[in-house]
Structure 1
Amino acid sequence: MYAFNYDPKEEFLHGVIAIPARRALEKEKINSLEKLSDYSEKEIMQLHGFGKNTMVKLKNYMQENQVCFKEA
């Protein structure tokens, strides 16, 4: 098994949310669930690539990992 074009930055939320949303998080330097928890749901929804469907997927993933958004 070969890992080519491996970039650890690209791995955060890979397979959880779409590339445009992941790039928006990367642009804001959000590359871990810990950093994501410093933001409110409303703040993340304002980023490019985030809509209701993406937010549902993200919140489910966060819940599975015992992490939540900060209160607005």
Structure 2
Amino acid sequence: MLTPRTPRICPQGHKYYKSGDCPTCPVCEKLKEPTSGFLALVGNPARNALLHYGIDTIEKLAGHTEKEILSLHGIGKASLPAFRKALEEAGLNFKS
């Protein structure tokens, strides 16, 4: 059975509807998305995983192996081409 969607308003005044208990405002989440840099190349789950582990610069990404990055919850193989391209453009590679 589906839970009915209920109207909500976040502390910033955005109006949205949610069916679960999650308090995250989708409007606020969209506003937090970067418009440039390697974090802008991937979706929210991958970006949030990297940020959770303190990987917020291309140099920090280069300090990890592909296997380490793939082991993070929220990052899948589809993110690797974007990471590789960003690293290449910065003259960097994943750690061997």
Give the TM bin, normalised by the shorter chain.
0.7 to 0.9
Aligned residues: 64
Point out which structure has higher relative CO (alpha carbons under 8 A, 6+ apart): 1
Show the 5 A alignment for 1:1-72. Answer: 10-11=33-34, 13-14=39-40, 16-71=41-96
TM, length-normalised to structure 1: 0.75
Q: Which runs of 5+ in 2 are unaligned?
A: 1-27
Across the aligned residues of Structure 1 and Structure 2, the Cα RMSD in angstroms comes to 1.8
Which entry has the higher C-alpha Rg, 1 or 2?
A: 2
Q: Which runs of 5+ in 1 are unaligned?
A: none
Name whichever structure is richer in strand by fraction: 2
Instruction: Provide the rounded CA distance (Å) in 2 between the counterparts of 1:29 and 1:56.
Output: 21
TM, length-normalised to structure 2: 0.58
